[in-house]
Amino acid sequence: MNPIIVLAALKGGVGKSTLAACIGAELHRQGKRVAIIDADPQQSLAHWFSLEGPLDEIPVVIDPTSKAATRAQELAKKSIVVIDTPGFAARELIDLMRVASHVVIPCRPSGIDARRALEALEMVDLVNQERRKKATALVVMNAATRSTMVGHIRVELSGAGARVLGAEIAHRPAYAEAELFGSAPCYMGKSASKAAAEITAITNEIIRT
């Protein structure tokens, strides 16, 4: 069974869909077989991948229902699966956590985002209590700046038991441009090289855990 990577958040605006798109694109660039599931009722990811661009070779399944978890397990027999989920504590999110190999939680450097990230981690812990093979829960710092706030939030999360990735995502226009043109940093050339390097580092770190 290939990895099932679930992007999870309990509030909107943390970069969940952006990270899902960029991880999926990076895996594809690396020559890996990958499938995307858009389980978010807003279907932001499905729209992103529907635009004519370098991502149109990656299959996208739109399924915001309780059947998405079963679909993910079927796809994982042949592909790495990356899943965008509802940005709230829906039953569908819990079902997807039950089949995930990795639950990746983006967190912006703010107090409310940190609290919501910890709540998402608690949800993963509860789901893992029911599982023989546990999901690996990972936090990714998103929209990071050189502010001391980023380091403070990272320390607070780690102190609460969260596993925070060493790689992080900076606040860069390349990510908004990628969504606008149906692309991803790894396909955008020199102008997005720093963003592409961040996504490569994050993707590799996830796969290695």
3-state secondary structure 6-25: EECCCCCCCCHHHHHHHHHH
Report d(CA 113, CA 107) in Å as an integer. 6
pLDDT tens digits, 103-161: 999 999 999 999 999 999 999 999 999 999 999 999 999 988 877 888 889 898 998 88
Which residue reads 């999870």 in tokens?
8
pLDDT tens digits, 54-105: 898 999 999 999 999 999 999 999 999 999 999 998 999 999 999 999 999 9
pTM comes to 0.95
pLDDT tens digits, 27-63: 999 999 999 999 999 999 999 999 888 898 999 999 9
Q: Which fold has domain 4-208?
A: Rossmann fold (3.40.50)
3-class secondary-structure state, position 39 = coil
What is the residue extent of each domain of the chain? 4-208
